[in-house]
Structure 1
Amino acid sequence: MHSEVERIAEMAQTGERMIERLRRQAFLPESRKELTVRFGIAEAASLLGCSTNRIRMAEDDGRLPPPPPTENGRRPGYGINDLLNMREVLGASPARAPLDNPAIIAVQNFKGGVGKSTVTTHLAHYFAVQGYRVLVVDCDSQATTTTLFGFNPHFNITREQTLYPYLSIDPTQTDLLYAVQKTPWPNVDLIPSNLELFDVEYELAASGADGGSVLASRFRKLKQGLQDLARDYDVVILDPPPALGTISLAVMQAANSLIVPLAATTPDFCSTVQFLSMMDQVTGQLAEAGIVVDYDFVRLLCSKFDSNDPSHAMVRQIMEQTFGPALLPVPILESAEISHAALRMMTVYELERPIGTARTHKRCKGNLDEALAQVEVLVRKGWGVASPASEQEVINA
């Protein structure tokens, strides 16, 4: 007869097998995630900030290859690779200038269930669709972000592929290049995580009398490693653990921007206030130890907002009164489309067609674009540039 403790191990093992079954079912036939999303010419033109005629003219004069027609003669639309090529040919790349600092954004809250990993992955894919070069770093041993990118942390990722060889007490790597994995998105790379990354917390906690100096060196090391990697990217997005630990502190010190997701409930509001208070204390203590924490921007983003729930509206009003302009004005709405995509280990930006109704999908994607564009505006302000204007806006102006 199994003890209850043994039952935990049994449930964990059967759970891991079920995750692998779900992954294989989602990514048939090769059990590997592929990006199949396509964009019509009108949507492509909108993303590039140009007219459809300009795209057609570039196709007619040979600067751009036309998308191959389907059997019924219709255009199948453009893939992400096509869009990236179009940006290069038509001079519509939003990439930062060489002297601009890459945005290194930590998406952090110590309260679980606020959609931290969902915000991280959707933000990464939003920036990818807009044409930026993106690196996502999963620093959470629960590895939800790694899973959403199509990897099974238990079967596909080893400890040597995570941050562990770089941050451990006895490091075997001197930079972070070893950990960078390609994803189905041509302009998004990932440093994955798995449960063994938590060993870093154990090791540093057991470092004895030298704990403080070891900790400080790890903080500086992660920041330096990320800054070195970031040279090849426009945006780096960090997903730290939802708790105050060594890795969380190192991530918050390595970032130059902070997004705090929170749901519109009283417990989430109270927990976030505690998180901000704890951040204030910790940054003060780090400053005393000679470790400076500074951000280009700190913003709160309301996630999982149900516009039909009066209690959500009430709590959001409290947030607005409390946080003022630090709270981004457009929340991420609660949507079945996000939940359905997550069940397939995807984001809404990866869906080739709506899972629910076309109306629900359009509303969800439109809201995500509007909410996440707020972060893009902050990033571009840091580079001293405004968001690119469309040809129509220029003409009207």
Structure 2
Amino acid sequence: MRAIAVVNQKGGVGKTTTAVNLGHALALQGSRVMLVDLDPQAHLTACLGLHQAADAGVDRVLLHGEAMAELAVSARENLVVLPAGSALAEFADQPGGTERAFILSDAIERQPPNVDFLLFDCPPSSSMLAINAVIASNDALIPVAGDYLSLTGLARLMLTLQRLQPMLRRPLHKAMFLSRFVARRRLAQEVYGKLL
């Protein structure tokens, strides 16, 4: 199983859109995929029309140790979704030390879902939710919009990932890509140049 955190501390760069489309593409190719909505705003859950399932989800995994597979909802062939859940913000707001950073990873190790890919749609922050996703992942997929604020968000994220490095249980592969890139805009070209 490959776990991928779609992450950036900047909002509006395309994290949810990336997670949804990548999940669908992998499912269409025959891979078994679980999308996990780790953003308390629950946009991934809403994008897939799962409002009725929004009461229970990854919040129960993080707060009560329930199994991911038991809470996942089928979205299409080969694609299941673990909604955010109504209490997800409670987890993000709880005090605690570094042991809380491993709750998701430990839950996956205890009861691994029967999928080929886990895709985590992360919140636009360096909250404990995003940290849990990064620690549980093999890869960090980082969308960057072609604007200045996205670059500053990327710089902050890279510092966060560097700070987390000693806590990681496996190597974390990082890949960045430009989202919302308009080639004729000078600023977009500058952002592109800085990413190279």
**TM-score computed with the length of structure 1 as normaliser:** 0.46
- Which of the residues 103, 109, 130 maps onto 2:29? 130
- Which of the residues 162, 179, 196 maps onto 2:87? 196
Aligned ranges 1:99-248 → 2 under 5 Å: 102-152=1-51, 155-158=52-55, 161-168=56-63, 171=64, 173-183=65-75, 185-202=76-93, 204-205=94-95, 211-212=96-97, 215-216=98-99, 218-227=100-109, 230=112, 232-248=114-130
CA distance in 2, matches of 1:179, 1:297: 28
Conserved? CA contact 2:146–2:188, under 8 Å: yes
Q: Does 1:275 align with 2:163?
A: no
- Which of the residues 165, 179, 188 maps onto 1:312? 188
CA distance in 2, matches of 1:235, 1:163: 16
Q: Kindly indicate which of the two structures has a greater share of residues assigned to helix.
A: 1
- Which of the residues 237, 255, 273 maps onto 2:137? 255
Task: Tell me: CA distance 1:163–1:300, structure 2 relative to 1, closer, same or farther (3 Å).
Answer: same
Counterpart residue number, 1:371:
none
- Identity, % of aligned positions: 22
Deviation, 1:194, is: 4.0
CA distance in 2, matches of 1:186, 1:229: 22
- Which of the residues 143, 158, 168 maps onto 1:292? 168
Deviation, 1:231, is: 5.2
Q: What SS does the aligned partner of 2:142 have?
A: strand
Q: What SS does the aligned partner of 1:200 have?
A: helix
Conserved? CA contact 2:45–2:54, under 8 Å: no
Conserved? CA contact 2:68–2:113, under 8 Å: no
Q: What SS does the aligned partner of 2:23 have?
A: helix
CA distance in 2, matches of 1:114, 1:176: 27
Deviation, 1:219, is: 3.2
Q: What SS does the aligned partner of 1:267 have?
A: helix
Task: Tell me: CA distance 1:305–1:227, structure 2 relative to 1, closer, same or farther (3 Å).
Answer: farther
Aligned ranges 1:81-92 → 2 under 5 Å: none
CA distance in 1, matches of 2:86, 2:131: 18
Conserved? CA contact 2:38–2:120, under 8 Å: yes
Conserved? CA contact 2:15–2:122, under 8 Å: no
Give the residue type in structure 2 aligned to 1:165: R
Q: What SS does the aligned partner of 1:236 have?
A: strand
CA distance in 1, matches of 2:110, 2:23: 19
Q: What SS does the aligned partner of 2:168 have?
A: coil
CA RMSD of aligned residues (A): 1.9
Q: How many residues were matched structurally?
A: 196
Give the residue type in structure 2 aligned to 1:187: N
> Which structure would you say has the larger RCO, counting Cα contacts within 8 Å and 6 or more residues apart?
2
Deviation, 1:318, is: 2.1
Conserved? CA contact 1:138–1:239, under 8 Å: yes
Give the residue type in structure 1 aligned to 2:154: T
Deviation, 1:175, is: 2.4
Give the residue type in structure 1 aligned to 2:160: M
The gaps in structure 1 that reach 5 residues or longer are 1-101, 206-210, 321-397
The gaps in structure 2 that reach 5 residues or longer are none
Deviation, 1:293, is: 4.4
Give the residue type in structure 2 aligned to 1:125: H
Larger Rg computed on CA atoms: 1
**TM-score computed with the length of structure 2 as normaliser:** 0.90
